[in-house]
Each structure stands twice: as C-alpha cells, then as structure tokens.
Amino acid sequence: MRRPVIAGNWKMYKTQADTRAFFERFLPLVASSTHCDIVVAPPFTALAAAVGAARGSTVTVAAQDGFWEKEGAFTGQVSMGMIVETGCKGVIIGHSERRQFFGETNETVNKKLKAALAAGLRPIVCVGETLAEREMNLTHAVLEKQFEGAFVSLTGDEFSRILLAYEPVWAIGTGRTATAEMAADSHRYLRELAQKRFTSERASALRILYGGSVKPDNIRGLMAQVEIDGALVGGASLDAQSFASIVNF
Ligand code: PGA
C-alpha cells in the first residue's frame, strides 16, 4: 500500500500573516488525520512562518521552486540549501506554470531535481500535457518526454525519494478536472515508464499525485482509483476548511 499524500500549492497567494491565520484554523481540523502525508507549499516569503506555525504537527512545508546552484550572482534565485535552512522538507519542481511562464524546460527540471535531492529535499516533480497536446493524441508522448528529461542520470535510489505529480495543464485552475479514469490512465502510463527506466519495485512504490481543479467534492472519486496516490491542490488549498476536507477525503 502506498501512503497517500495531499499537498497544497499556494502559488502567489498569502502573506506571512495570512499563513499564520491559515495554520491556526487548519491544524485542529487535521489533528487526527494520520492516514496521509500533508504538505503545504507557500511562497518563499512565507516559508519560515509556515514552518513555525506547523511545528509540532504532522504537516510539512515545501517550496514551490528552487535553483540548482548553491550560491552566486543569480539575482532573484533561491538555492535548495536556503530552502532547507527555513525548515522546509520538500520542493515542487517543474510546475506547468513555471514551464509556461518562466522558461522551465526538462533540462532545468533535471538540474533542479538533482540539486534538491543533494540538499536532502523531497522533490514533487510535475508533468502533464496541454489541451492541444491531448487533442492531438500526444499525451503519452509528452509524458514520456517529460519523464525521461526530468530523470536523466538519476539513480534508482534517488528516484525512490521523489513524488511525481500528473497535472494536465488544461485542468489547472480551470474548474475542468480530468475524469478519474483519464487521470488513472496517465498514472498507469507513468508507472510503466518508471518500471522501464528503473525497476518494478521502484515503480510500484512510486507515489503519483493528481493535480488540476481538485476540490472537496471530487477528491473521493479520484482517490478511489488505485493508481492515484494523492493530490496536488491549488485553489482549494487556500482555504483551511476546504483543504482540510480534501485531506480528510
Ligand atoms: P488548481 O491548481 O487546483 O487550482 O487547479 C493545481 C496546481 O496547479 O497544482
């Protein structure tokens, strides 16, 4: 049995004060939720506040991105080591918004992934096709390219420390969720890729999260699929009550 993971990606929302207020409401609602790993990914400026507010709970904090160099003249970047210093345990890498708006490529995803692993962070690596790609029947081809690109020269041991998130771009923030079957098909395909590239043991231990308009009213259907090991939640993770309902699916 793979342990479920419910992760919230706050994107560019919430100040430090908002973050503390969120945890004050959220933690009592998940105090007895021991059935899954709970992760919250606030913006960089609120990481330390989130770590402080989550202390003593089972909730861990992740960053939404990180750079591969340790330090240097890279204005605006934050290194994986700096993220670790805030008390974060994980980092999201290759989110489609970074690929779309900030020039993230499979190569940069691979570099960031290796830096994150070297720093001891648990990476949540995101992959997923656009609507045009799905309509042209390219979903599997795109997933394969992103999978192979992200995991270039990764060892099996390193691979066992990552979480994979399947996020069809057309379902993010649009209110359009992939049907549970559609998501499960992509998850199955990703697991096949993991088996080919690594081993069947590693593939069956891999936790694959679904992301894209996950809400309190569709989480159960998604989690009922054996292939779906959790969720990466954007909009619905901003409200303590709604995120707690998702955690307590
Ligand atoms: P959404 O975002 O839940 O708001 O669609 C998901 C994500 O981008 O991770």
List, for residues 60-74, the tens digit of each pLDDT value. Answer: 999 999 999 999 999
Q: Which pLDDT belongs to residue 42?
A: 98
d(CA 104, CA 94): 7
Answer whether 66's CB lies under 8 Å from 78's CB.
Answer: yes
CA 178–ligand 1 middle distance (angstroms): 12
Ligand 1: residues within 6 Å at CB?
9, 167, 172-173, 211-214, 232-236
Q: Of ligand 1's atoms, which has the minimum distance to the CA of residue 172?
A: 5
The residue whose C-alpha atom lies closest to atom 6 belonging to ligand 1 is 234
The residue whose C-alpha atom lies closest to atom 2 belonging to ligand 1 is 234
Q: Which residue has the tokens 């919430």?
A: 14
The residue whose C-alpha atom lies closest to atom 1 belonging to ligand 1 is 234
Q: 110-141, pLDDT tens digit by residue? A: 999 999 999 999 999 999 999 999 999 999 99
The answer, as to whether pTM is greater than 0.75, is yes
Domain tally for the chain? 1
* Catalytic (active-site) positions: 95, 167
Domain enclosing residue 124, as ranges: 5-247
Q: Of ligand 1's atoms, which has the minimum distance to the CA of residue 165?
A: 9
Q: Residue 230, exposed/middle/buried by CB under 10 A (0-12, 13-18, 19+)? A: buried
Candidates 172, 174, 232: which one to mutate for ligand 1, based on the most atoms within 8 Å of Cβ? 172
Q: 6-46, pLDDT tens digit by residue? A: 999 999 999 999 999 999 999 999 999 999 999 999 999 99
d(CA 79, CA 75): 11
Q: Of ligand 1's atoms, which has the minimum distance to the CA of residue 212?
A: 5
Can you tell me the mean pLDDT for 179-198?
Answer: 96
CA 175–ligand 1 middle distance (angstroms): 9
Q: Is the pLDDT of residue 208 over 90?
A: yes
Answer whether 22's CB lies under 8 Å from 43's CB.
Answer: no
Q: Which pLDDT belongs to residue 1?
A: 83
Q: Which pLDDT belongs to residue 178?
A: 84
CATH number of the CATH domain containing 234: 3.20.20.70
Could you tell me the two tokens for 47?
A: 């990481």
Q: CB neighbours of 130 closer than 8 A, spacing ≥ 6?
A: 142, 169, 170
